[in-house]
Amino acid sequence: MRRRLIRLFLILVALCILIGFFVEHEHATFWWHEVPSVDAVFGALGAVLLVLATRVLASFAQREEDFYD
């Protein structure tokens, strides 16, 4: 199940990046908005970094089983 979700995520990211090359960007405010698919790559990297950050923080925040005893 986990491998399927990772595979689905990677397929969707690749699809978003591919579509980004065919979509015309009108009225780009910043220079990086003119680069094709930069928003998709930035979003995918941000999602991965958020998941990794929550895993690291969860390892510090976990309590022992008998914490409330």
Alpha-carbon distance values, 5 to 10, 39, 47, 58 (Å): 9, 22, 14, 21
- pTM (two decimals): 0.62
Averaged in consecutive runs of 10 residues, what is the pLDDT profile of the chain (69 residues)? 90 88 79 82 89 89 71
Give the pLDDT of residue 31.
83
Q: 20 and 42 in contact (C-beta within 8 Å)?
A: no
Q: Where are the domains of the chain?
A: 2-25+34-59
pLDDT at 67: 65
